[in-house]
């Protein structure tokens, strides 16, 4: 008999697996890369999963950290630019149902339709973010948000 898992059940399991990866320890970027691999592989609508990190050596700029998916031209993003740069300023999760409706958006490739960006915070300080692109319109909802915010809270001490 096939077991049909709800999205919430699948995401609860994935959240636990990510927490296990983090708690197993190791180099920060290896941990980030393993999380990208897991989420991109397990979630059908996640087509690009990566981390942008606040550059401690540059004024208000993100650099691209570990990622899985097509290479992107956006290896550095100033705070305020694109969805990623806006989250670096707002410190709030940003879900974009249709990227073509956004004025302040940086296109990675023409297939991307929706996106979610979740900040990693150390107290009041913004340190990094997870960025996920999908080739499906409205691919992410509050279940994605809840899982990714939990993962980002667990990741915060690594930065």
Task: From 4-12, 18-26, 81-89, 145-153, give the range in contact with ligand SME by CB under 6 A.
Answer: 81-89
Q: Does 31 bind ligand SME (CB under 6 A)?
A: no
Q: Provide the 8-state DSSP code for 16.
A: H
Instruction: Decide if 27 contacts 51 (C-beta within 8 A).
Output: no
Contact call for residue 131 and ligand SME (CB under 6 A)? yes
Vertex 158, ends 157 and 159: CA angle to 5°? 95
User: 125-149: string of b/e by CB count within 10 Å (b at 16+)?
Assistant: ebbbbbbbbbeeeebbeeebeebbb
Q: Binding to ligand SME by residue 83, rule CB under 6 A? A: yes
Name the 3-class secondary structure at 1: coil
- Rule CB under 6 A: say whether 105 interacts with ligand SME: yes
Among 106, 121, 156, 158, binds ligand SME (CB under 6 A): 106
Residue nearest to ligand SME (CB): 82
User: Under the rule (CB under 6 A), what is the footprint of ligand SME?
Assistant: 48, 72, 74, 77, 82-85, 105-106, 108, 115, 131, 133
């Amino acid at each position: 008999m096939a077991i049909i898992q709800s999205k919430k059940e699948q995401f609860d399991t994935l959240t636990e697996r990510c927490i296990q990866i983090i708690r197993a320890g190791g180099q920060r970027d290896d941990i980030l890369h393993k999380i990208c691999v897991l989420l991109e592989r397990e979630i059908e609508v996640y087509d690009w999963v990566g981390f942008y990190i606040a550059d401690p050596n540059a004024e208000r700029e993100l650099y691209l950290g570990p990622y899985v998916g097509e290479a992107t031209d956006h290896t550095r993003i100033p705070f305020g630019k694109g969805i990623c740069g806006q989250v670096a300023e707002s410190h709030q999760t940003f879900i974009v149902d249709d990227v073509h409706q956004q004025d302040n958006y940086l296109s990675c490739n023409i297939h991307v339709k929706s996106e979610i960006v979740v900040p990693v915070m150390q107290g009041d300080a913004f340190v990094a973010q997870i960025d996920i692109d999908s080739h499906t319109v409205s691919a992410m909802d509050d279940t994605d948000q809840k899982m990714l915010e939990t993962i980002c809270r667990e990741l915060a001490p690594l930065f």
